[in-house]
Amino acid sequence: MKKILIGTHNQGKFKEISYLISKKYKKISPVTLKIKSPEETGKTFISNSRIKVNFFSKFVDYPVISDDSGLCIKALNNKPGIHSARLAKKHGGFFQAMKFILKKLEKKKDRSATFVCSLS
């Protein structure tokens, strides 16, 4: 069976990406291999997904897929953007981060947002 490393420590993302990949592949997590995540120093979703895929590729001799994604809210100058996961961690999880964001949006008329994902 072919293998593919899905370069994320987020179990939800791991499941989502796994679902999209053919059953011909055994999906491997960096958690299973005890590989820590690299520091995401990029300024864009694309650069962060590339940082991760290049990092994880150093540990295996089979294909790697990795992503970077986040929520871009127009009224907040497209933030939290690439800092979405860090915001959630800072506030104790996804739901707490959403409460924080909704509080910031209380007096904003335009609450439009996009979810951006870059795969490498």
Taking the C-alpha atoms of residue 29 and residue 82, their distance in angstroms, rounded to an integer, is 22
* Residue pair 101/76 in contact by the 8 Å Cβ criterion: yes
For residue 68, indicate whether it is catalytic.
Answer: yes
Q: Which of 61, 67, 68, 110 is catalytic?
A: 68
**Closest-CA residue to 4 (of 37, 17, 69, 13):** 17
28 pairs with which residues across the strands?
Answer: 5
User: Active-site positions?
Assistant: 68
